[in-house]
Amino acid sequence: MTVKLDFEECLKDSPRFRADIEEVEMDVNELETRLDKLVKQCHTMLEAGKVFCQNSKNFVAGLRELGHHFSPDNTMAECLDKFSKKLSIILEAQGDAIETIQKNVKSKLHDFVKQDVKRFKDVRKEFERCSETLDNALNRNAQAPRGKQHEVEEASNAMLNARKAFRSGALDYVLEINVIESKKKTDVLSAVLELMGAQAQFFQQGHQSLKELETYRKTLSDEQTQLVLNAAREKRDMEQKHAAIKKKDMSHDDSIMDYCADAATGIVMEGYLYKRASNAFKTWSRRWFSIQKNQLVYQKKFKEQPTIVVEDLRLCTVKLGVDQERRFCFEVVSPSKTCLLQADSEKQQQGWITAVQNSIASAFQDRREDTLSPRDRCSSVSAGSGVGQESESSSCKALEEVQAIPGNGHCCDCGEPGPDWASINLGITLCIVCSGIHRSLGVHFSKVRSLTLDSWEPELIRLMCELGNSAINRIYEARIDEITIKKPHPLSPRFHNCSLKQLIQELSD
């Protein structure tokens, strides 16, 4: 223990002793002020550190969420995941350092101020009281008159008692001074060592965690350098493409008018069209239309399920909407409904009509199966066996049902018995002569297929079963008596049957 004041000196109560006491008291008061300020600063630092750690943890959580966003990109996802994990380790070490400082550094300094300094002050007060009592006793003893013995004895006894109490208090005060002088060094030094250790451990763990990423960081830095170069090249290419496109006439939206039958996305045509509703108000709505998977569909928003306008383009036809007040209209007609559409320009109108017609022709070409005809299929069913026999038998049965529909036993146009051909969009059966006339009309008017040579899909068979010659003739021949062209019969010559084309076109209009 470092001896600040000598015990022998305090018994003399010399001016030197009093000066030393005054110096110690000033030093303790200054120490108290500084330590009290330091404890408050330490508290502020710890509270700020806790807030920083919490905000840092929120930041790390944000990095993890960003990594989940970049999950398809392995480089970004791995980078954010590794860095967030290392930051979590560093923050955990920082939290431990804050807890250590809270428990050891702050508590030691706080205890020194509140306990040791307080005890020093209490002992000092007692010393000062004893000193004041001794001064009074000395003055009283000095003032006692020679002739009054009892006063002299009384003053002498009070002086002796006061001197005894003072010397006891002075010894206690000197002891407390020496104790606090020694303790302030050990406690402050211990607190500083704890602080140094906590900080050293924190920074060591942080350094170790980040050092483990050094190799990965260098690799990532090389990748980032290459990405910067690639981005610069891409930016240059985009700027050149941007400048080239800006030179074009952007008043026309012709880019969407490209029909592509072999598109990788399966969308052969797409763009905006106005669609008239089928309700009583006949309102027009702008929708994004597309031709895909042999269907005409539209949608309002990208993630919405597309609404199917025509389920199978082979069963529809397309024509100009000449009777409409609005411009650039065209109709997509199927056996079940008619959809009236409007383009933004005449060029787009013709582009959509051509696209639908090309899609119809392409659908007939692409959807033909390399299988037997229905009649050959029936023969193979009766002769063969194995998996699929039941389904083939049901197809033959369905075809027989088509031929058994009222009116289908005779050609729909001329009445020739046993027709072997059909118009699949009209849902009728035809003889070979009338089928040739229908073929000359084009697939957008009539799509002809052989009942014996071509393959038939289940949906086409269902359509044929729902329509039939009798039902169709009641529609198409409802006004035949009002026109000059007469319906041919089986014995009509070929050239006379050619008027059938004019008849069909006029009836269709």
pLDDT at 399: 65
**Would you say how long the chain is, in residues?**
509
205-214 pLDDT, tens per residue?
Answer: 889 988 888 8
Return mean pLDDT, the chain. Answer: 82
Q: Is residue 474 part of a domain?
A: yes
Q: Examine the domain organization and report whether 358 and 431 are in the same domain.
A: no
pLDDT higher than 80, residue 385 = no
Q: Is residue 1 part of a domain?
A: no
pLDDT at 499: 45
pLDDT higher at 256 or 111: 111
CATH of residue 194:
1.20.1270.60
Q: Is residue 405 part of a domain?
A: yes
Q: Is residue 185 part of a domain?
A: yes
Q: Mean pLDDT, to the nearest integer, of 333-355?
A: 87
Last residue of a domain, one of 336, 366, 396: 366
294-313 pLDDT, tens per residue?
Answer: 899 999 988 888 999 988 88
Residue 298 pairs with which residues in a beta bridge? Answer: 289, 307
Q: Examine the domain organization and report whether 162 and 185 are in the same domain.
A: yes
Q: Mean pLDDT, to the nearest integer, of 337-366?
A: 85
CATH of residue 291:
2.30.29.30
Domain that holds residue 238: 213-246
pLDDT at 383: 45
pLDDT at 262: 73
Q: Mean pLDDT, to the nearest integer, of 131-139?
A: 90
394-428 pLDDT, tens per residue?
Answer: 546 556 777 788 888 889 988 888 888 888 888 89
Q: Examine the domain organization and report whether 466 and 501 are in the same domain.
A: yes
| Contacting residues for 471 by C-beta, under 8 A, at least 6 apart | 406, 407, 427
Q: Examine the domain organization and report whether 266 and 172 are in the same domain.
A: no
In whole angstroms, what is the distance from residue 114 CA to residue 112 CA? Answer: 6
Q: How many domains does the chain have?
A: 4
pLDDT higher than 90, residue 258 = no
Q: Is residue 83 part of a domain?
A: yes
Neighbouring CB atoms inside 10 A of 363's CB total 20
Which pair of structure tokens corresponds to residue 73? 């990109």
pLDDT at 4: 64
Q: Is residue 133 part of a domain?
A: yes
Window from 176-190, 251-265, 372-386, 469-483 with minimum mean pLDDT: 372-386
pLDDT higher than 50, residue 198 = yes
| Position 69 confidence tier, pLDDT thresholds 50, 70, 90 | very high
Output the CA torsion sign for 61, 66, 72, 75.
negative
| Position 388 confidence tier, pLDDT thresholds 50, 70, 90 | very low
* Residue among 277, 299, 278 nearest 288 (CA): 299
Q: Examine the domain organization and report whether 351 and 396 are in the same domain.
A: no
Q: Is 261 helix (H, G, I), strand (E, B) or coil?
A: coil
Q: Is residue 38 part of a domain?
A: yes
Q: Examine the domain organization and report whether 357 and 423 are in the same domain.
A: no
* Residue among 53, 95, 100, 91 nearest 198 (CA): 100
Last residue of a domain, one of 350, 366, 382: 366
Window from 3-17, 121-135, 342-356, 384-398 with minimum mean pLDDT: 384-398
Last residue of a domain, one of 366, 389, 407: 366
In whole angstroms, what is the distance from residue 435 CA to residue 416 CA? Answer: 12
Q: Examine the domain organization and report whether 115 and 26 are in the same domain.
A: yes
Q: Examine the domain organization and report whether 236 and 308 are in the same domain.
A: no
Q: Is residue 173 part of a domain?
A: yes
Task: Note if the pTM is more than 0.75.
Answer: no
pLDDT at 106: 82
Which pair of structure tokens corresponds to residue 147? 């002739």
76-101 pLDDT, tens per residue?
Answer: 999 999 999 999 999 999 998 888 88
CATH of residue 397:
1.10.220.150
pLDDT at 372: 41
266-285 pLDDT, tens per residue?
Answer: 888 899 999 999 888 889 99
Q: Examine the domain organization and report whether 277 and 174 are in the same domain.
A: no
Q: Examine the domain organization and report whether 308 and 391 are in the same domain.
A: no
pLDDT at 365: 66
Q: Examine the domain organization and report whether 17 and 156 are in the same domain.
A: yes
pLDDT higher than 90, residue 343 = yes
In whole angstroms, what is the distance from residue 101 CA to residue 396 CA? Answer: 90
Residue 410 pairs with which residues in a beta bridge? Answer: 417
CA angle 139–142–146, rounded 5-degree value: 145
Q: Examine the domain organization and report whether 178 and 29 are in the same domain.
A: yes
| Position 362 confidence tier, pLDDT thresholds 50, 70, 90 | confident
